Chain A
Amino acid sequence: MKSIWTIFKREFVSYFTHPIAYAVIVVFLFLSLILTFTLGSFLEARDASLTYSFFLYLPLVLMVLVPAVGMKLWTDEQRNGTIELLGTFPISTRSVIFGKFFAAAAVWLIALALTFPIWITVNWLGDPDNLTILSGYIGAFLVSCTFLAITLLVSAFTRDQVICLVISAALCIVLVLGTFEPFVQSYSKALWDWLVAAITAIGVWDHYLSLARGLFRLQDFVWFGTIIVACLFGTSAVLSAKRS
């Protein structure tokens, strides 16, 4: 436990000694609010809820920006050789993986928390259901964690940050766009119903939107949890396979 905390501290501080966390957070706030006011028609809808104005479009931003935060996690260790220090310290690989994952997740917690002006705005202009909004934030954070876990797994394979960014963003984009409403409409005519249902169950959208609507369904938490845990264990397996 203590070693997870030590790794967490180092990684978290490192995010803020580099420009990377600031850049990603600023771009994230900018893009997420732009989408809210354009595609989300936040003002025109005259609706004091954030589900279809703000939360609906977040995965489109997260699918690209989350890998940018996670891409250095193992690539840097492998490129600089510091993985050899970590591998000879009396701590388990698993605690290093958790420490790194939590540090990157904390950056996203901060990024999401900094969208608070939009929450203040809807409360000021109307009377929204704040529990639904909280549930939406939980959903957005779980999406971020899922994308981070995927990026962490990809970063274990390579020492090149650009390759890690491209591959993990591609995976996240497939998970998001594969079940994005306009895309589903176009391919659902050509495919069997059961296949469309299966794709919907695998993609991000269905699970995220139920949370954004304030719905706590077990299957959604199982979906997020399974991907995160599988990717973290996969990372550990890849790292030990590479060493032998």
Chain B
Amino acid sequence: MIEVENLTKQFGTKTAVDNLSFKVSPGEVLGFLGPNGAGKSTTMRMVTGFIPPTSGDARLCGISIVDNPTEAKKKVGYLPESAPLYNDMTVVGFLRFCADIRGLSGTAKKDAVDRAIDTCFLGSVATQAIDTLSKGYRHRTCLAQSLLHDPEILILDEPTDGLDPNQKYEIRQLIKRLGQTKTVLFSTHILEEVEAACSRAVIVDRGVIVADGTPSQLLAQSGTGSLYDLFRKLTTRDTAA
């Protein structure tokens, strides 16, 4: 369960996220849509505790990320936008390191690493150095890191960005499968992903929610039966400034 309440982030005089509130329940996959610069990544960084909000709060499984960050962070698996990794480590070495940090040890750690490698199809590159991996494998290694501790909440920032169509398909299937038991929040600007993987979607523009509903509700709202038209209608183009 993710509860975001009046979350606001200001960078100097610029308001990146403006009084945002929404909720994601277990078993729900929420697609977080919006143009580049709408505040998607900033929101996710606040919810995961990487940057502090200017005001407002986010509760993860009921635990406030502002008041009790260490406990709240234990509930979350997070895939940052650029899928950052330690290039000098091997895939399995990196996953073991993350498992150590998550407090796993002994057979629990071994099982968690094996499971994450299986889930993300990393078996063939497990002992390879990370700086020799292709982009798809890098992305999946970072995704595997977020699944290690079997978190109740998954927050994925553009998980399919830069992947080829086969890899996109695999990741969407994975998100859908994980979404049956977990609370999933993922951001994207690829509209087909909403119908392919989400049970609900919100569209944000300049830090404010401009649409919220199931894929079919959003399609109805568009009037033309196309999410693309709805997106164009509701969001600001950066050429229009």
A residues neighboring B (CB under 8 Å):
2-3, 6, 9-10, 14, 17-18, 80-85, 87-92, 243-244
B102 adjacent to A85 (CB under 8 Å): no
Q: 28 A-B pairs, CB-CB below 8 angstroms? A: A9-B100, A10-B86, A14-B88, A17-B88, A17-B89, A80-B85, A80-B86, A80-B87, A81-B84, A82-B85, A82-B86, A83-B84, A84-B45, A85-B78, A85-B80, A85-B98, A85-B145, A87-B50, A88-B50, A88-B76, A88-B78, A88-B80, A89-B102, A90-B103, A91-B70, A91-B101, A243-B51, A244-B52
A10 adjacent to B51 (CB under 8 Å): no
List residues of chain A with CB within 8 A of the CB of B84.
80-85
Which residue of A10, A87, A90 contacts B102 across the interface (Cβ within 8 Å)? A90
A6 adjacent to B50 (CB under 8 Å): no
B173 to A: closest C-beta gap in Å = 25
Which residue of A84, A85, A87, A92 contacts B70 across the interface (Cβ within 8 Å)? A92
A-contact 0/1 string along B79-99, CB 8 Å cutoff: 010101111110000000110
B105 to A: closest C-beta gap in Å = 9
List residues of chain A with CB within 8 A of the CB of B51.
87, 243-244
Q: Give the distance in Å from the alpha carbon of A14 to the alpha carbon of B131 in the complex.
A: 13
A90 adjacent to B70 (CB under 8 Å): yes
List residues of chain A with CB within 8 A of the CB of B76.
88
List residues of chain B with CB within 8 A of the CB of A83.
84
A10 adjacent to B97 (CB under 8 Å): yes
Is B118's beta carbon under 8 Å from chain A? Answer: no
B residues neighboring A (CB under 8 Å):
45, 48-52, 70-71, 73-74, 76, 78, 80, 82, 84-89, 97-98, 100-103, 145
B100 adjacent to A90 (CB under 8 Å): no
B88 adjacent to A89 (CB under 8 Å): no
A6 adjacent to B100 (CB under 8 Å): yes
Question: Which secondary structure dominates where chain B touches chain A?
Answer: loop
A196 to B: closest C-beta gap in Å = 45
List residues of chain A with CB within 8 A of the CB of B74.
90
A89 adjacent to B86 (CB under 8 Å): no
Which residue of B45, B50, B103, B145 contacts A2 across the interface (Cβ within 8 Å)? B103
B45 adjacent to A89 (CB under 8 Å): no
List residues of chain B with CB within 8 A of the CB of A88.
48-50, 73, 76, 78, 80
B50 adjacent to A84 (CB under 8 Å): yes
B52 to A: closest C-beta gap in Å = 5
List residues of chain A with CB within 8 A of the CB of B103.
2, 90
Known: A88-B73, A88-B78. A18 touches B52 (CB 8 A): no
A3 adjacent to B101 (CB under 8 Å): yes
Name the residue of chain B whose CB is nearest to the CB of A92.
B70
List residues of chain A with CB within 8 A of the CB of B102.
89-90
Name the residue of chain A whose CB is nearest to the CB of B41.
A84
Name the residue of chain A whose CB is nearest to the CB of B77.
A88
B185 to A: closest C-beta gap in Å = 14
B161 to A: closest C-beta gap in Å = 14
B153 to A: closest C-beta gap in Å = 12
Q: Give the distance in Å from the alpha carbon of A71 to the alpha carbon of B170 in the complex.
A: 39
B215 to A: closest C-beta gap in Å = 29
A62 to B: closest C-beta gap in Å = 25
Q: Give the distance in Å from the alpha carbon of A83 to the alpha carbon of B86 in the complex.
A: 10
Q: Give the distance in Å from the alpha carbon of A243 to the alpha carbon of B98 in the complex.
A: 22
Which residue of A18, A92, A243 contacts B50 across the interface (Cβ within 8 Å)? A243
B100 adjacent to A243 (CB under 8 Å): no
Q: Give the distance in Å from the alpha carbon of A89 to the alpha carbon of B76 in the complex.
A: 9
